[in-house]
Structure formats: structure tokens, C-alpha cells
Structure 1
């Protein structure tokens, strides 16, 4: 029997879908001009400042914990064996809407400068589901698959439901740019005793896909101002099939397996936690940072992931950005590279940016791209390109007439964007937006980003 909370969510979803068209028309009529007063990026954050102190770098260190390989194999055997990405994509049962089919309210979240190369919107039921929030994005190297991470965010009247805090990932088949389809997969963590798995309950702020590994940021519950903060790694050759898709349970049910109505689960093969211990602190930029966004950099000396820190809502703190090298040895490809102590991971490069409200970070060719949240509900974000010499961003076309008066607006990026991801095969920077009813997944050419910098 399904929970009453599930029926309430369905009724709410129908009501929201019914009002979506009206909202779209209203927002179309109230087209918003981008002004200097809306630009969180109105003042340049300046150059990146290198962090070289051994003590500060130590705060960025991680400790690796690997899932027992024997237990993983045993779990896979019990569930009928692992499957790969191809099977998941073949079973895609949701369709994305092309930009022409997006509502006006959704398209208003697209960037003003430079324009998006392409954009898509989610199936209506997902576009208006206020219990799930899109947080992160990454792509396969060839850009044939797009992955978006969503986190369940229960409000007060639904607190305590079985969904609360769960994480799911949309694997999007992007081989046909005119017809994108996706399948939901539940992220899980194998139990220590090898007896099944639990749902990963966390906030997916960032994602990176390297070879056969998917790396995600994960944040646990807060206690005394500090949080359990981690990276989790998933093997994309180890999807497991649940045979009881009509059950709310997560784990074994009698002789079968359930994944809270989802067909596939992806179990973690490794986790990384702060080496300093005690969790992270989201109140300021001192001490162990809480992970915000995450992305892959293939252009570094060694393939690496770059990260930025996240703060408690309402805290306007300048952020740190840093990187970890990835392992490329045959049996550890896609895991983080460890130091002399086998389980320790050190940051190989770190900087401070004066940008506040950082939502996404990307590093490519020695340049860092930092997405900064806009001011207010209608403010567009700013995408800065930073290095140790300074910072640049596009000037919004609507406000170039104000340059003679000294007024400038750099708030040209999309509204309410999340993490960033770069696809080298197509030269596209991907991101997504999270508010209802304005959720859109879009790509901008990196060459266009660089070409519009002031």
C-alpha cells in the first residue's frame, strides 16, 4: 500500500502542472530587464589568490574508504549481476522537451550573453515536482550522455517521509540532439555487513564523470554547526536492477530487491571524508570546507577534479577553489590519487576567489570559470573567468548603452544555475537551473563564453 504522502505529492503535482501555463504567460508579459542593481557580479572579484600555506592545504585533505570488493560482488550476484550505462539508456522512459517546447518562464532562465547553443526542459511532472531539486550536471567525454543529480528536499508537512534526503540521477541519452530521453537511477551505499544497501541521503552539489567513474559531492546532516561532508564514487559498470518496482522499501524484501520504486540503483565503490576529521563548517571560509560544486578538468598535468566550497544559506563569504588529481592506474582509474599514506588525498592546487555566492566552478587550460549567484529572485547569475592576473565577464548587451555613465552589468549568465561541466568533443559548457517552474538544462560554447568577455 502506498503512503498518503505519496498521494498528496501527486495531487500537488497536478495542481502545479495546471497552473504552469498561466504562470508562463504571466512571466512572459513581465519580461525582466537585467540591470546593474541586480548584478551580484557588478563588482569584479579580481584575481585568484594562491593558497600555499601547508596548514591551509591540510584542511583540504581527504581520507579514502573503499567499499569491500567481495561484498560488492556478492551484492551484484544476489541481484542478478551488474549492468552498464547502455542498458540504462535503452530503458529510458522519460522525454525531455526541446527549447521550442519549453515554457516562456523556463526560457527566461537562459543566459543573456552569450546565448545558449541548445537548451532542454524536463518532462512536466519533473519540472514542477517541488519535492526534488536539480543540483548538478556532468557529461560523458563524447557528450553522448548527460547526467543530472537531484536531491529530495522535503518541506515541513512531508518531513519524515521515506523520500527525505534521497538522491537520484537522471541518465540522459543525448545521442540524438533532437530527442533526449532519460531514466532515473537511485544512488545507494552498500551496507558494511554486505547485507544489501541504503539510499544515499545527501545534497548533490557537484558531479564529475571520468572514464567509468562518477564522482559526486555529498553532505550529511548538520550537528553543532558542522556537517559530515564527503565525496562518493560510483562505478558505471555496476548498475544493479531492482525487481520490485512497486515497493517503497530500499533494500531486500523477501526474496527480491526494492529501490523505492526505481528500476536501477548505483552502489558507491568509494568515499572520501575530511582527513582532519570532525566534518566541515559551512559558517565561514576558515577550517575544513564543505563541498559545493565539482567538475572535471582534462587539461591539467594530470586529469583532476576541481571543487568550490559551499556556505550556509545567507552567508556571503568569499570561497576557496581547489583541485585533486585523479588516479590513472588500471585498477584505480577514476579514484582520487592518494599520497604516501595510502588512504590520504592532498589538494594539488588551491586558490581564494573574492566572489561570493559561488554556485559552480570549472577549470580548463589553466583558466578558472566561477559561477556567481545573482541578486534577488529575478537576478541573473554572473560567469567569471579568473586567474592570478584578474577576472573578466561578459557585459550584458541590454546595458552596454549605460557604459558611458560608468554603469555596467555582468549579470548575463542564466538564473539560479547550479554546477558546471565541460564537454571537449562539442566545446560545450553545461549547467542547469533549479527553481519551479523554470528548470532548464542548457549548454553554451566555451569559445562563445571567452569571445564575449569584457
Structure 2
């Protein structure tokens, strides 16, 4: 149940809280730019082409599938009273280091242009291995208009485990770092493992899915499902975080209690969205990659980008769904009487390898600009960040050769924090933010 004393929705137009405190760091990405010869990063993705035919939009339709309340209640009754976000943050056992204390390799992964104004690297215990990698980010700036959840400013970072390396028990799992961002100079975080209830709530399993996109909206967290699945999104409830009681390698119910491969907290899925047209494929529904929230539409909306290989020939689609305005459906998509969610806008873009997406309507303009962060064809080195609309596309230039490979190395998703005017993202090594105004300025 939502704790209204700690958190409430603010009316649009209400006074926003003060921006994050602290002096922004002037960061220099000391990276040697790779040759800008690969067309997928340096060539313009061109103008957006609207997709309006039923054949195109029908492939984007979703079917909502909510976990029965009795299943969730049975799991809560067995595991004990759910923990809140405050409890997770209070037990943070990892510390992030400010950019100045990070390695040169860490700093080299940051954007070249525009430069990050604030950046941190992860605890060495998490950064040392190669099996777990961060890919998605969302913040309490997405969750609520004023950017605060309860009394805290929070950043959530989604990590996925490799399906081929590391311990077999961990392969393909997904976890979320709950980062306390109250003090930008002293970020601390705690892991929460994403799970899925099974056997009517008598047990749970780990979520075996990549989470390349993630949006925290109201009390729900929406994450992408792995490419090739009929499922497009999984839904989690921030008020249903559960504590484990056994510190062991198993995931689920065990003799003596509940285990999650050593994680203290788990968050069970409360629903999912599945493409009605079947599994994502070249001729069918897209494989969702990046997600973001857009508060600039008439009603808040979820924007998505299709994942396609950066060195492939298949260009990506961009689209959006409306969020429900029903108070009983906080954080869920708008659906019809049959539980189906239709895309309210869709485009084809002449690019591939998209890892980040944003849609933002600048004051005084009639239509939104779409920002797409792209991987280079080799997936190594710095990528590009382009701003697109119906007229064309622009990107930052950097380096002596005027390269457009200026964005972060192996960059992940994008999240706009409305209350501070900052865009948050992450490389494979660091969490960082850039003011939207500076990002726009760098794009011309």
C-alpha cells in the first residue's frame, strides 16, 4: 500500500524542489577517440519517418498480464512485511567514488562532448568483474514531478549478468542498485534482486532477462524483457520489496526461509506486458531496448526504442505508450477494456544500435525532439548521441577530426530529471549526468 505520508503526487505546475546540492565537477574525458569511419555512428540517422498504418502500429500493441493479488499477498504473508525504499537506502552497503578518485580507464568512458558535470564510479567489489554490466538508469525525477521519493533523491541503475560467463547460478539475472543521491558527493547504494513469483506465490525465481531499459513511474518500475521474448516489459512495485532470511546461493524458498543468492532484498514482479503479435522479430514486433519517461505530452508517456545490432542493416523504430490516469492503476499503461495498450505515436529512424532514448518538447515548440544514443558498429569505444525530429538530425562534434563519436563508451539508457534539468546516463564503468541545456548546446 502506498505511504501517502511519505510520498504524494504533485500537481503539474507546483513549485519544484531545489536542485541537487553540491558543486558540479568539471570532468575531462581523457579518451583517445577511435576513427570515425563507421557509418552507424558518424552518418546522420536522418529525419524521423512517422509510422501510422495499422500494419505498423499493430505490431506495437501490448497485452497486460497482472499477477493476481492473492499470489502477491501469499508471498508477502510468507516472507513478512514488505520493506520500503527508505529501508533499502538506510542499509546501503556500497559506496560510489567521485570522478577524481576513479581510475583513468573509468574516466575515459565518460562523454567527450558535452562533458559530464557530475560522475561517480562503482564500488570496486562490483566493478572488478566482467560478468555484471550496468545498462539502464531511472530516478526519483521520473517517479514524481518534484524529483523526491519520500524524503530522498534516488537513482536506480539496472545491471544484467552475462548469460555465458561467471557463476552458472547468476547467469542472465537482473539486479537494481538503489542509490541514495541526497548528497551528490557521497553516493551509496544497495542491491535488490529482481524476481518473479511462481507456484501461486509460494515461491519465486530470478528474473532471467536483460534490462536495457528501465522507468520508475509513480510506485511502479517498468523494465525491458530480453530480446527474442514475446514479453516486452516486466512491472515491479516499489512498495513490495521483500527481505530475505537465508544467506545462501539458492534463489527462492529454502529450508529455514527465503534466499536470493546472497542478496538481502528481492522485488517480485507484479505484472508484464506481452506483444499481441508474438515474439519480437524482423517482420514482427520490435525487441524493446531503451525506455524513458516523457512528461511533456498531454498525459505522461513511456517512450521506447527498438534494439537492433549496431553493425546490422536493420533500422530501429521509436514509439510511445500513454500511462493510465486511473488512480487505481498507478504506474501502469493506459489499456482498453481487453487490457490492450496501443502505441500512440511511432517512427522509423535510419539508424541501429540504439542504447538510450529520450523525447523532450522544448518550450515554445510544437513537437518533441528525440534523442538517441548509439553504439559504434564494433561496440567498442565511444558512441554517438543524436537529436532527431521530422526535419533532420544533429550530433555533437569533438576531437581534431570533428568526430561525432563524442558520447559515452558503451553508454546505457537516458533519464531526464525534470526538477534539476539534468540527463542521467551511465557508461559500462560510471554513472553520470549532463544538463539538458548543455547537451542541446553541444548538438547545435
- Per the normalisation by structure 2, the TM-score is 0.86
2:203 corresponds to which residue?
196
1:444 corresponds to which residue?
434
TM superposition shift of 1:255 = 3.8
Tell me whether 1:426 sits opposite 2:420 in the alignment: yes
Check 1:83–1:34 CA distance in 2 against 1; reply closer, same or farther (3 A cut): same
1:32 corresponds to which residue?
32
1:262 corresponds to which residue?
263
1:182 corresponds to which residue?
189
- For residue 359 of structure 2, the aligned residue among 353, 357, 363 is 363
1:243 corresponds to which residue?
245
Say whether the 8 Å CA contact 2:231–2:272 is kept in structure 1: no
Say whether the 8 Å CA contact 2:47–2:388 is kept in structure 1: yes
2:8 corresponds to which residue?
none
Partner Cα separation in structure 1 for residue 380 and residue 66 of structure 2: 43
Say whether the 8 Å CA contact 1:382–1:413 is kept in structure 2: yes
1:281-320 correspondence runs (5 A): 281=281, 284=282, 286-312=283-309, 314-320=311-317
- For residue 335 of structure 1, the aligned residue among 332, 337, 342 is 332
1:323 corresponds to which residue?
320
2:51 corresponds to which residue?
51
Partner Cα separation in structure 1 for residue 371 and residue 310 of structure 2: 22
Q: Deviations over 1:159-211 (max 9, x none)?
A: 7x111111111000010101000000000111142212111101111000111
Q: Deviations over 1:284-340 (max 9, x none)?
A: 3x321111111111111111111111135742421000001111211101011102x
1:126-145 correspondence runs (5 A): 126-141=126-141, 142=147, 144-145=153-154
- Number of aligned pairs? 401
Q: Deviations over 1:94-147 (max 9, x none)?
A: 000111111001101111111101001001121121121112111112261111
Say whether the 8 Å CA contact 2:79–2:243 is kept in structure 1: yes
1:167 corresponds to which residue?
174
TM superposition shift of 1:357 = 1.6
Matched residue SS, 2:267 = strand
Partner Cα separation in structure 1 for residue 160 and residue 41 of structure 2: 28
Say whether the 8 Å CA contact 1:368–1:386 is kept in structure 2: yes
Partner Cα separation in structure 1 for residue 104 and residue 154 of structure 2: 26
Matched residue SS, 1:193 = helix
Partner Cα separation in structure 1 for residue 136 and residue 261 of structure 2: 22
Partner Cα separation in structure 2 for residue 39 and residue 395 of structure 1: 15
Partner Cα separation in structure 1 for residue 161 and residue 376 of structure 2: 24
Matched residue SS, 1:209 = strand
- Per the normalisation by structure 1, the TM-score is 0.85
TM superposition shift of 1:35 = 4.6
- For residue 417 of structure 1, the aligned residue among 393, 405, 411 is 411
1:271-282 correspondence runs (5 A): 271-277=272-278, 279-281=279-281
1:124 corresponds to which residue?
124
Structure 2 unaligned blocks of 5 or more: 1-27, 142-146, 362-367
Structure 1 unaligned blocks of 5 or more: 1-27, 221-225, 403-407
Q: Give me the CA root mean square deviation.
A: 1.9
